[in-house]
Copies of this chain bind each other. A is one copy, B any other.
């Protein structure tokens, strides 16, 4: 069943992208392997603050559920009917806010929004825990983004609603990391296996500073769950210690070979996946990375390598790559809407609003 207004996928071996320039969703995955509702139900009523709450099984079920939502028309079932989602973007971000709001509206939920921290009581000095208490009366779930890493914890103090962390300072951005892996699994579904032969394992390059940038931090932590598919990780950063002690410890513990570099070109020809990030979020300021951290259509990419980028991008990722099959970042951005839908339905326990007949759900014994 194809969604209203979307063109069916008709990819060929020569051109893995569909007519919209996106990698197709893993319908195969679903048919072979029904969604396990008992695993997804671990999310009911939960807040999503960190990827550390996820094991591999839960990431996989969320991705499979997102694939289902991407390929099935469920709006007529009004899965979030009567639910109010509060999008509280104390740090303004149109892309992430609109992605969540589109996810909610397509499921027939409702939205009240703080589009920027400039217009709130916070600007007058109100505490985040008071704002959390306020939210209890106004909605059913809070999506929060904030410039301060500690904000998520502070707002939790009085909040009795589930909350989704949509980026907290230099902390985490867990729904982005799930969207990242949703894209990777669309590109190469076999990476979900517990045993991946060396020939199919990937060398992953990360441009950025996982120790201080939330998107790459959450991405790297999630990647460790898929260690069976990873041959090597190279962190490309201008920082002397881009990982910090905690992440370095986790990487060592994982047994994945890893190395540091300060020039993407040193390793590019060996990379299967390149995760880029334009913006070094350091405390309250942003800085742009220099030319040793840029890619374009002339870069020495492996023929079947793919590039991820959480967007927005600046000049580190040239639009000349957009029309090529290296472009996994548009697939990644599009899939984020469905990852967020999967989380919202799971947290708010609205599995009963799905079209039961068409959906291969394994509801257990």
Contact = CB atoms under 8 A, between A and B. Distances in A.
B333 A126 contact: no
Contact of A137 (B122, B140, B158, B333): B333
Interface in A268-320: 279, 286, 311-314, 319
A131 to B, nearest CB: 8
Interface in A82-98: 82, 84, 86, 92-95, 98
A358 interface: no
A99 interface: yes
A124 interface: yes
A116 interface: yes
B112 A311 contact: no
A92 B110 contact: no
A102 B137 contact: yes
A124 to B, nearest CB: 6
Contact of A121 (B94, B122, B124): B94
A58 B115 CA distance: 37
Contacts of A75: 82
A46 to B, nearest CB: 15
24 contacts: A4-B82, A20-B136, A75-B82, A76-B82, A84-B102, A84-B106, A92-B119, A92-B120, A92-B123, A93-B121, A95-B134, A98-B112, A98-B134, A99-B137, A99-B138, A102-B137, A105-B110, A115-B119, A116-B119, A121-B311, A124-B286, A125-B314, A129-B319, A130-B311
